[in-house]
Amino acid sequence: MAKQPKSKYKSGFVSLLGRPNAGKSTLLNAFVGEKIAIVSDKPQTTRTTVQGVISEPRGQVVFLDTPGIHRTDTQLNKRMMDAVRGALDARDLLLYLIDAARPELEQQRQALEFLQRTETPVVLVLNKVDRIADKRELLPLIEKSMELYPFRETVPVSALTGDNLDELRKVVFSYLPNGPRYFPEDHLTDQPERFLASELIREKILQATRAEVPHSVAVAIEQWLEEPKLTRISANILVERAGQKGILIGAKGEMLKRIGSEARPELEKMLGTKVYLELFVKVSTGWRDKTNVLNELDWRAQFSQASPVEPVIGE
């Protein structure tokens, strides 16, 4: 293949934003072609920003998936929204996703207030069009969305089926400046393997539980031993109450077994080794408001020892 002249090479930073459940993480995975962000039908699945990089002959895009924009109550939620705010700065383009099958325009109005300060161009992505039988329904939705925010343009897609994603990539590249290749071509994400492993376990929990349980769960890797033929992983599942512990263990330990047997093949695929997985459930009352627990769960805080630890704010 002929090499692109260097001056035509485009690169830049693009954040994926939107309400919980809009399909941001599904879109990130579809772009990258690998599962790097967990997905579930429960809102607030993503709790931190996830970088996903695509490298093509025409250029490189560094995408950033973000937590869904929602009202905050706990310290965990506040950190999630800080992550969203951080994903607005120094971007070349923002993609704002709306679930076209459940647009909930009133909530969008509140979420879009987040974008009022930004000068960065925002493109509206109407996702889940596979769930819209009559595509003519999209036109009034586009009009109403434009009344809420001056989006530069609109691209209807299905992150799930891949419908119109080539067009969306084209649109993304059209907003990028000429620039360098920031990462090697095989670089897909910034997440350490251990964090991704804990996320994959959390995904299985989210998919298997309901109501308040998904929001009350965190996963912390306790042990990671790489042996010649297998990797031994043990993880603690944190919950907030004894009742939730009971739900996660299940009758005769069935639920925990199910979570483990669903997570293991994905861990094996990611690591390319056999995995021996042990899961424990621990009650950690109020962990979503405990700075030390949140720091332990935050891989970026773990990596940058130099970063200042937030003061514990009493009630």
Query: Which residues of this protein are in contact with Mg ion, per CB under 5 A?
Result: 24-25, 45-46
Among 11, 46, 55, 191, binds ligand GTP (CB under 6 A): 46
DSSP result, 244-308: HHHHHH-GGGHHHHHHHHHHHHHHHHHHTSEEEEEEEEEE-TTGGG-HHHHHHH-HHHHH-TTSP
Q: CB under 5 to 8 A by kind: which of Mg ion, ligand GTP, none does 26 bind?
A: ligand GTP
- Rule CB under 6 A: say whether 127 interacts with ligand GTP: yes
Integer angstrom CA distances of residue 220 from 193, 215, 234: 13, 15, 9
Among 22, 126, 249, 297, binds ligand GTP (CB under 6 A): 22
Structure-block tokens of residue 131: 């769930």
Instruction: Write down the least CB distance from residue 134 to ligand GTP, Å.
Output: 16
Q: How far is CA 258 from its chain centroid?
A: 24
Burial of 301: CB neighbours in 10 Å, binned 0-12, 13-18, 19+: middle
The Cβ of residue 197 has, within 10 Å, a number of other Cβ atoms equal to: 24
Instruction: Write down the least CB distance from residue 273 to ligand GTP, Å.
Output: 27
What is d(CA 266, CA 9) in angstroms, rounded to the nearest whole number? Answer: 35
Q: CB under 5 to 8 A by kind: which of Mg ion, ligand GTP, none does 213 bind?
A: none
Query: Quick one: which segment of 5-13, 44-52, 182-190, 271-279 binds ligand GTP (CB under 6 A)?
Result: 44-52
Nearest to ligand GTP of 130, 222 (CB atom) = 130
What is d(CA 221, CA 84) in angstroms, rounded to the nearest whole number? Answer: 25
Nearest to ligand GTP of 159, 235 (CB atom) = 159
Name the one residue in this structure whose structure tokens are 């997985």. 277
Find out whether 259 and 248 touch, Cβ atoms under 8 Å. Answer: yes
Q: Find the binding residues for ligand GTP in span 142-201 (CB under 6 A).
A: 158-160
Structure-block tokens of residue 63: 């995408």
Instruction: Write down the least CB distance from residue 81 to Mg ion, Å.
Output: 14
Q: CB under 5 to 8 A by kind: which of ligand GTP, Mg ion, none does 11 bind?
A: none
- Rule CB under 6 A: say whether 77 interacts with ligand GTP: no
Instruction: Write down the least CB distance from residue 293 to ligand GTP, Å.
Output: 21
Instruction: Write down the least CB distance from residue 161 to ligand GTP, Å.
Output: 6
Nearest to ligand GTP of 103, 179 (CB atom) = 103
DSSP result, 84-131: HHHTTTT-SEEEEEEETTS--HHHHHHHHGGGTT--S-EEEEEE-GGG
Among 131, 144, 152, 274, binds ligand GTP (CB under 6 A): 131
Binding site for ligand GTP (CB under 6 A): 18, 20-26, 39-41, 43-46, 67-68, 127-128, 130-131, 158-160
